[in-house]
Chains A and B, each alone.
Chain A
Amino acid sequence: MATASGTVAPQSPQRRSPALLVVALALALPASMLCALALGAARVPFGDVLGYVGAGVSGGWIDAADLPDYQIVWQVRLPRVLLAAVVGAGLAAVGVASQALVRNALADPFVLGVSSGASVGATAVIVLGAFAAFGVYALSVAAFLGALGATALVYLAARTPQGLTPLRLVLTGTALAYGFSAITTVLVFLAPRGDAARSALFWLLGSLGGVTWPSVPLAAAAVVAGVGYLLLYARALNALAMGDETAAALGVEPAPLRRRLFVVSAAVTGCLVAVSGAVGFVGLMVPHLVRMVTGADHRRLLAVAPLAGAVLLVWVDLLARTLVAPQELPLGVLTAAIGVPVFVWLIRRRAYVFGGR
């Protein structure tokens, strides 16, 4: 072999470390959130925004004259902006996990039937008034239960004695999703009131309109725990992405890992869908966009993708409530409107290889 040439030990060329990118995004996130708190139907000066947030956090006092602005920033916008960041981060991270889990570049957090199941629950609440006992949380509870129910069905249907195989998971998830969306459609058609169909459609495309503080802690905790868990398994995800046999040969048992990732992904996605509806495209697009910069190594990918998803969704939500104010646009419409052209342009421009070629 021609190995004798190696007296100079060349540093193995590596992709640039993501540290810079992480720092940049970590700075961009609070800046974006500040913008989102200040801008909207009522404009609040940036300095005042900081003051109100400080007052809200520390329990300090403000002038009585500032009360309306304080309420806009602290009661209305802040929970919404925080949730936008949480949902964006969660969808991006779970998108990465889902793509490795089913080893498919087309996968997103909803590939396992989560969103379609949640839709059935939410539509049942909107159209039929189900779960009225839960009051204002009926929608979230129903969506969460729908998501979990759907995931459990997909899991049971896809399971084999050899474990969960990627292709079976994708096919089962996709097939059941058609079934669930058929149920949703029937519910919408049966809706006694026309505006119910409209609300259902709006929910299906994702929205953070009307979220309040109580929605924040659970979703935030789910995302923090989920991202933390995925980061612990970043190296194992690399092995899993190479194939089950390779993973086994690298000391990663694929079947239990896939099972655990499935449960974590479903739980996180269920929590997100419960508060925001099914925001499409973020979980598919952000992983690919980030991969174009950091490469496929999950250790880098999972460090960057949640931050990128958070920044993206904060801006998307800001646009959603300002573009056609006082009307609101569904988030899914904007993620698609922004995401599709950017995505297509990047795929054509960069030598980005995926899907086997």
Chain B
Amino acid sequence: MDVGIEGLTVTVAGARLVADLSVAAPAGTVVGLVGPNGSGKSTTLRSVYRALRPSAGRVLVDGDDLWRLTARDSARRVAALPQERHLEFDFTVAEVVAMGRSPHQGRLDRDSDTDREVCAAALRRVGADHLSARGFLTLSGGERQRVLIARALAQEPKVLVLDEPTNHLDIRHQLEILALVRATGVTALVALHDLNLAATACDVLYVLDDGGVVTSGSPCDVLTPDLLAAVFGVRAHVLEHPVTGAPQLVFSTALDPEGTL
């Protein structure tokens, strides 16, 4: 489904975190948000999975304004992997994935056969069906992310929102998680720190800085030495990936503030 963020402005406690920001994600694409720390990536994503109410602007999913839907209705369309990592109680993997069904269930409904099938399919999809009886807290970082993706898939969403899903993962798991997201075929909004990973995994990149969009387009068009110098303050050289042809970056030194290097 098409996702459109239009003129998004988010103000928290007097601080304007994001101002008049717009993003368009056509159905089935993987759209990456990149930018320095504090550029507004997480804030933008939070307003899509309804953790942070925008002060102005709209988030449209197939034309419907998400913030005009009920929380439940919205959770049937948008599923998310927030950055939260702390968990106090040891739910099993099966229980964590089953939570993904809650927007589809009434208050007193028990898990139906459909619910169980959807959850089992979601776990198979991420290759984690063997973990189902394990405690979530006993899993490795890569396993946890897989299970959380399964929970998101159990919501049967039209849109996936992932905030730094590859943080703290080794390189193999980073690649696997992003491959998994692409394989779902669901429209995805992903915030990423690693620009090379973003260039490989995303169809479209939005570069954010200071709460607004600097530029957007295909990774080839966006990741240029000039842009990297201007937005990230680093000196970069763009190479071509020998297999995929995606742009890959090699960095020299951070620029000094005057940019005289």
Contact = CB atoms under 8 A, between A and B. Distances in A.
Please indicate whether A and B come from the same complex rather than being unrelated chains: yes
Interface of A: 1-3, 6, 9-10, 12-15, 99, 103-105, 161-162, 232-233, 235-236, 238-239, 241-246, 248-253, 291, 295-297, 352-357
Interface string B153-164: 001000001000
Given A245-B46, A253-B71, A356-B88, A1 B180 contact: yes
A239 to B, nearest CB: 6
B107 A15 contact: no
B92 A15 contact: yes
A250 B100 contact: yes
Contacts of A15: 92
Interface string B49-92: 11100000000000000000011111110111011101111111
Q: Which of A239, A242, A355 has the most CB of B within 10 A?
A: A242
12 contacts: A3-B124, A103-B88, A239-B99, A245-B46, A249-B79, A250-B75, A250-B100, A250-B102, A251-B71, A295-B95, A353-B90, A353-B138
B120 interface: yes
Given A104-B88, A105-B89, A354-B90, A1 B99 contact: no
A353 B91 CA distance: 9
Interface of B: 12-13, 46, 49-51, 70-76, 78-80, 82-84, 86-92, 94-96, 99-100, 102-103, 105, 107-108, 116-117, 119-120, 123-127, 129, 132-133, 135, 137-138, 152, 155, 161, 179-180, 183
Contacts of B105: 235
A64 B71 CA distance: 65
The 9 closest A-B pairs by CB, nearest first: A251-B75, A245-B82, A249-B80, A243-B84, A251-B103, A296-B89, A13-B133, A353-B90, A251-B72
Contacts of B179: 1
Contacts of B82: 243, 245-246, 249
A102 to B, nearest CB: 9
Contact of B137 (A2, A10, A244, A356): A356
A10 B133 CA distance: 12
A162 B82 CA distance: 18
Nearest to B124: A6
Contacts of B129: 6, 10, 12
A252 B183 contact: no
A77 B99 CA distance: 44
Contacts of B83: 245
B88 A238 contact: no
Nearest to B70: A251
Contacts of A6: 124, 129
A306 B32 CA distance: 48
Nearest to B125: A3
Contact of A242 (B92, B96, B123, B183): B96
Nearest to B92: A295
B50 A354 contact: no
Given A245-B84, A250-B75, A356-B137, A2 B51 contact: no
Contact of B108 (A232, A244, A352, A353): A232
Contacts of B12: 162
A1 B137 contact: no
B87 A243 contact: yes
A85 to B, nearest CB: 24
